[in-house]
Structure 1
């Protein structure tokens, strides 16, 4: 992605900023070179003045160089980092306290290291290569393989994997699984070889295998403001995620379901599971069957694969590496509060290597579980190492009204970082299921695809403004967090993250270009000036960077540490929100304060009722051991205290139906009065009054058909109403097929009072499309194949009064003739075919009585319209019948279609 420079942004040195940075740095600096890594305390000696390579242990030497830990007096500048690279001195991972894991050639000049600020060098102790869990048996059953232990071994990247496998085999250690293009191996090892294994020179890290995978089981669209991005009107936004690839990593095939017509690629053969169907429907269902059940990104190209905990499966890697997929969703847990694991490192690395890739995860449903953070069962129970990633999104679960679901896992992350990142509605969602049905779906499993789907809408919004380019996921994540609706405590917290997603404000930020990017190196400082207009009620500044992956088990996991300070026009300095991660239940529930952040790769400053003028956003590279580091600044300028977001114009509601009214409120204190109008705002009728802390209301739509309806909300001096009118109208609910013939079908529906016409829809390439318009309650639909399923739906309209109903639920005809008046030749075929036995259990015979046919095309379709069998038979007669095997079919009703010379007939077949 190209860097963006704005006329109101400048880069300069700030004396005030340097002074403040020095004070903060001194206040938070650690005065010791002592390293705490897992349960180990390691003091690296100040030995550079006497160091020789011969002092390194044999376990550190491999080929023509050494692995070890190198500690500097100060974090090396970018010039020193570059000098190391130019000499092939590899700084592999950053360890806290100015220390790196390194690989240096044995010819490396010690004097050069000393001149570059190196304090000391040691070999890597074998114990710090073993995870804490691995060092503390007994182990869970999932990690036991007979008398062996199942572990993940990570070898150094510059070591050939086959060499590692051969060396392990010589020590009777078997490789259970090898991953393509990865330095991770799954091993089965004897319990008594851990020490020897950790001291092998090519071994970088060993941990217990990932815990077993566990599933984290239209009100959401309006809560997320996704409906404002996908208005399905000519005047509104129409961000459907078109052109964006989304990936469902779950429990098998998705569908069949017409809500994914023409947009779904299943890359798994597993059937009969419904979890992935629920995830997919929330993320990208089109609502073809029932428009009320439309998902977030109804135009996204959707792929489905099985969930593999390593994130190194060939299907996932192929899709993200080839650019087919930009956003993945995984609503699975693997353990609880697992820390920074090899899997965490993998997902952070993938995002760092492919900047446009966004991984979205559920936070988990394990609140109530004590996962060892130290504050009891209500804190620190985010499930799975992958969710602890710095560059990914972990999603909390809220009800459609924005209240937190009790089971939703809470932070902090293992090292005190803010997790979850953001919240979305997952509970009690209606989503797709197999075979063109729907299911009630819930948990953070449903919240995560809400975020993934809104992200796809934002990807499209960015692309339309930038020549079709994809945005960096860092920009999208920052935008989502900085524009989220406040929830829970003021500022970020360990329950909701940065709040509940607000897709509309996020899209407006992208549309208005309220973002910039730059980079920074160790010890540098940048200043960006942003103008805040008069009348602003709240301004939010956020700095976010996709951080360098940490070493497994790193604590803290933050590598590159940037600082943000915002200076207002009166020279007042504003520090970002911080939370206290002390493992105490009371402390973790306290509201955010302001200070210096040493844990997170995101910092936010929020100023209420800001003075107009130029604000300096100062960014410093406090500790950038792997630079230069690119970062994004996104800023949200909110000028309205009260904004009604749903309904906002163009919607069509049904009398007596339930609709959720939503609004954004900033710096309001009084109760909210809700009203509606049926005459475009001339007169208003009261709905209700709700407390000033509420931002939504479940409205029972009145029985007043019309096209000039609006909703208004008032809080003290603040007021807002729908931007345009919406409709209240009944829709045809009783649809039927009257006749289906080889080339056309006759359909009908119940009459709607005052309707002047009806639009008739059939399923097109991807969506339900208008096929004809009629003034009666009947229509003829052209068809191309009588044996294929047919779907139709209807919208009632009154052009005089200007209203249109919502589209009806689609009606299915599974295929085959229905009440069709056959001609003479068709009658001969229909009457000349006999099925026996019928009901059948093993096979059914197809006889043509006294007639003979040169060819017969035979197909069997189930009641869901799925074709199970098709074949062509020759020289069929009464003495030469056809035998069709149905022994594998489930008990039920089927339809057998027999066609010859363009003439077809359909017979019912019962399998018992």
Structure 2
């Protein structure tokens, strides 16, 4: 990125100077001539548009879909050209725009009340208008480190651009960020690991997300190459990141994959791959590739999706699937110091595009559940819902698990509250077998994902392309039905043909995904086990160990339940859908005499019904009347002692 910084900033300064009174701005004669030239071109462009509109009065000149604007720009050789907002294009491509204020899902998310950390080449320009709070009375950016690490003077252009991609409020609509009212703590990258820990545990505005759009290039400015063993290896920096994540389970570190995609070096695993360096090879962070999407006009659906040639490719030496996902980082317009704007390209841009989007997903989850997701849940969710059918099916070392899709992620969060999907956070103990059954219908893809924050692994001993797995606690996910067992995705490698994927036992990744493209209707069994002995940070030598994990399941007409919950196994709600009156019935001959409690919520979390019933028969059978409530989807939480279940209620 830095090699292109000066010319981009110079062009932005030209635009800024032209917007001021030229009598107060010192500018060369050559640049005055250029301004005159471009002013004449602008007048000609406007004339072409007006001529076209007079001949085609039915043409709509401006299109707006909530927050996004598309406008007719020029007519060249009879072809009508449109322009749309640039950083908002990133939001469109990743479907973040559906979550934002005015977006298609009606969620109106903007990161209010949340704080995010940005480590970069120096502090962002906190005085930029894009960082003003909602009342324009102060900045949402707090500078923690004043020292400049990169070559800029006063503030870091790179950090300001990155922070704007995350949080710009949209003073210039072209530069609107992902989370437009979130707070940012701005650091330089010196002493970042210690500062990350302090920021996560701060008494004031603690963070649960941070962005790191920097890394170690394969070739430095002097033309010197890193040793070939360094690429893909699990070094101390990677271990440090995993250590921070393991000790702070809510905290997700988002990192750029790097911009070494076109760099060649000797003795890599395979030509055009194996470019990840240093902390990019960590297990517990989310590493982002730079995609280059094109969208259909007006609908903004993905039309084509390629990886930007500059984006660093994986995988790690032990064949972990890295980068994790891709996002739009190509030609993103955002803020730079002095109230200016510029367009940059790189994984430095795709990472903050992702970070700001993840903040909105956390905000939405918190609204519905009263808490934030564990980092493993958030990481698993965005990998689970990523678009993977543009290129080859399944994971690969360029896109990772696919292209970020915030809309599907948000819909899955909602579906999990209605029983149409599952997002759960659980713990697997030593020698335990986690098992659950559920039914699914034929139709949509059936997909299950587990993700966990693993213990730090052993660092590389500088062996070239060392395949030794760095996974410490190896969990295994399986789905089975009618005697058939469905295995997770894994990455394969051949020295002669390169990388491919298949389904089988995955002993390297701390995320496992089982996909059934064409499921048949019926009952499925999900099991989670582990290999070897679980390891943990705390406790004594002989204390039992465990591993937290997150589980996501999506499919067609899921009916979720567990074999040990007698209430959910016998529950019947009828009629459903209904007109507001329905009956709840289940076997109450359980091993307790507790009262039955029924709480009903709408999808925004508002309690609309609450009652407690005496357990006085072998089968509970009560009619509920919700007269006066609006049509829609409601969630009934039903409990009897330690037996708890939820049921979606549809009122027509």
- Give the TM interval when normalised to the shorter protein: 0.5 to 0.7
SS of structure 1 residue aligned to 2:519: coil
Q: Indicate the SS of the match to 2:530.
A: strand
Matched ranges for 1:727-806 at <5 A: none
Match of 1:519 in 2: 427
Deviation at 1:571, TM superposition (A): 3.1
Change over 3 Å in CA distance of 1:355–1:370 after alignment to 2? same
Tell me, yes or no, if the aligned pair for 1:422 and 1:497 is still in contact at 8 Å. Answer: yes
Equivalent in the alignment of 2:93: 223
1:564 to 437, 460, 477: 477
Post-superposition Cα deviations, 1:526-556, rounded to whole Å, max 9, x if no partner, equal 1122332x35321211111111111222731
The 1:510/1:472 distance shift into structure 2, 3 A limit, reads same
Which residue of 383, 386, 389 maps to 2:279? 386
Q: CA RMSD in A?
A: 2.1
- What is the number of equivalent residue pairs in this alignment? 413
Higher RCO, 1 or 2 (CA under 8 Å, sep at least 6)?
2
Change beyond 3 A, Cα 1:606–1:373: farther
**Cα distance in 2 between the residues matched to 1:518 and 1:585:** 41
Counterparts of residues 212-611 of structure 1 (less than 5 Å): 218-232=88-102, 236-255=106-125, 256-262=127-133, 263-269=140-146, 270=148, 271-287=154-170, 289-308=171-190, 311-313=192-194, 315-322=195-202, 324-336=206-218, 337=231, 339-370=233-264, 374-383=268-277, 385-401=278-294, 402-467=305-370, 469-486=371-388, 487-513=390-416, 514-532=422-440, 534=441, 536-553=443-460, 555-568=468-481, 570-582=482-494, 584=495, 586-588=497-499, 590=500, 592-611=501-520
Q: Is the 8 A contact 1:241 1:458 kept in 2?
A: no
Kept in 2, the 8 Å contact 1:488–1:495? The answer is no
CA drift of 1:347 comes to: 1.1
1:622 to partner: Cα distance: 1.5
Structure 2 CA distance for aligned equivalents of residues 392 and 491 of structure 1: 20
> CA separation in 1, counterparts of 2:425 and 2:259?
36
Instruction: Label 1:234 to 1:498 Cα distance change in 2 as closer, same or farther (>3 A).
Output: closer
Gapped regions of structure 2 (runs ≥ 5)? 1-87, 134-139, 149-153, 219-230, 295-304, 417-421, 462-467, 536-544, 558-652
Alpha-carbon distance change, 335 to 399 in structure 1, aligned in 2, over 3 angstroms: closer
Give the secondary-structure state (helix, strand or coil) at the position aligned to 1:312: helix
Provide the secondary structure at the position in 2 that maps to 1:220.
helix
How far apart are 1:311 and its partner, in Å?
2.9
Q: What residue in structure 2 maps to residue 621 of structure 1? A: 530
The normalised TM-score by structure 2 is 0.61
Tell whether the 8 Å contact from 2:246 to 2:454 is kept in structure 1 after alignment: yes
Task: Sort the Cα spacing of 1:536 and 1:252 in 2 relative to 1 into closer, same or farther, 3 A.
Answer: same
- Whole-angstrom CA distance in 1 between matches of 2:525 and 2:267: 38
Deviation at 1:237, TM superposition (A): 1.2
Contact 1:399 1:428 in 2 (8 A): no
Deviation at residue 312 of structure 1 after TM alignment? 2.9
**Which SS does the other structure have where 2:269 is aligned?**
coil
From the superposition, tell whether residues 466 and 587 of structure 1 become closer, same or farther in structure 2 (CA, over 3 Å): same
- Is contact 2:479-2:524 (8 Å) kept? yes
Aligned residue for 1:581, secondary structure, equals strand
More helix by share: 2
Decide which structure has the larger Cα Rg and report it.
1
Q: 1:235 to 1:412 in 2, by over 3 A?
A: closer
Kept in 2, the 8 Å contact 1:283–1:453? The answer is yes
Shift of residue 245 of structure 1?
A: 1.4
* Mean CA deviation greater in 609-618 or 481-490: 609-618
Q: Following TM superposition, by how much is the alpha carbon of 1:456 offset from its aligned partner in structure 2, in angstroms?
A: 0.4
Q: C-alpha offsets along residues 50-76 of structure 1, whole Å, 9 cap, x if unaligned?
A: xxxxxxxxxxxxxxxxxxxxxxxxxxx
Contact 1:359–1:392 (CA under 8 A) maintained in structure 2: yes
Name stretches of at least 5 consecutive residues in structure 1 with no aligned partner.
Answer: 1-217, 640-912
Task: Give the 3 Å change call, closer, same or farther, for CA 247–578 of structure 1 in structure 2.
Answer: same
Q: Which residue does 1:636 correspond to in 2?
A: 554
2:239 is paired with a residue whose SS is helix
1:412–1:581 Cα contact (<8 Å) kept: no
Change (3 A) 1:372 1:356: farther
Q: Deviations over 1:225-253 (max 9, x none)?
A: 10001142697111222222111111222
CA contact (8 A) 2:197 2:244 kept: no
- Alpha-carbon shift at residue 437 of structure 1 (Å): 1.6
Secondary structure of 2:91's counterpart equals helix
**Residues 491-521 of structure 1, C-alpha deviations (whole Å, 9 max, x = no match):** 0111100000000111111222221232224
Taking a change above 3 Å as real, the CA distance of residues 296 and 560 of structure 1, as seen in their structure-2 partners, is: same
In the TM superposition, residue 523 of structure 1 has moved relative to its aligned partner by 3.6
Residues 638 and 389 of structure 1: is their aligned pair in 2 closer, same or farther, counting only changes over 3 Å?
farther
Secondary structure in 1 aligned to 2:498? helix
Structure-2 separation of matches of 1:448 and 1:285: 15
1:353 CA drift (Å)? 0.8
Residue aligned with 2:434, SS: strand
Check 1:371–1:333 CA distance in 2 against 1; reply closer, same or farther (3 A cut): farther
Q: Distance in 2 between matches of 1:565 and 1:297?
A: 37
Counterpart of 1:774 in structure 2 is: none
Say if 2:101 and 2:110, in contact at 8 Å, map to a contact too: no
Q: 1:521 to 1:372 in 2, by over 3 A?
A: farther
Residues 219 and 400, structure 1, Cα contact 8 Å, conserved in 2: no
3-state SS of paired residue (2:402): coil
| Residues 372, 566 of structure 1: alpha-carbon distance in 2 compared, 3 angstrom cutoff | farther
Tell whether the 8 Å contact from 2:98 to 2:104 is kept in structure 1 after alignment. Answer: no
Residue of structure 2 in register with 1:694 after alignment: none
Report the secondary structure of 2:192's partner residue. Answer: coil
Residue 651 of structure 1 is matched in structure 2 by: none
Q: Residue deviations 1:286-341, cap 9 Å, x none?
A: 11x21232111112111111013x5334x433212216211111111125526222
